[in-house]
Amino acid sequence: MAFVLKQSDTYVWPVTVEIPIDGGRFDRQTFDAEFKRLPQARNNAIIQAARAETTTDLEVAEEVLAGWKGITDDAGKDIPYSETAKSQLLDVPGVSAAVVEAYINSLLGAKRKN
């Protein structure tokens, strides 16, 4: 298959969040994040800043998250993406870190075989 130079502006990638629950356990929850497809130079800067801890997970998540699928309210109704809903989501402890981890994993890809 030929490589297509012009790519879409966004792509969908799974995010797993571990939410603390009673008894010292975690509830593993997932959703599909729609990430912005940023230029390589910006991706490199994000990865370097994350490794050097000169940016926060919240700052990166706010920049790269452009939408989602699979986020619901407590009644099971889908919550549509909006800037307000995004702020609420990223305010949940652990979500920003999970979003950033998924984004960086999507950029770095699977480990290459020797």
- 84's enclosing H/E stretch is helix 83-90
Q: What is the pLDDT of residues 59-88, one digit of tens each?
A: 999 999 999 999 999 999 999 999 999 999
So where are the chain's domains? Answer: 10-107
Q: Which residues of the chain have pLDDT under 70?
A: 110-114
Both tokens assigned to 82? 């909006």
pTM of the model: 0.89
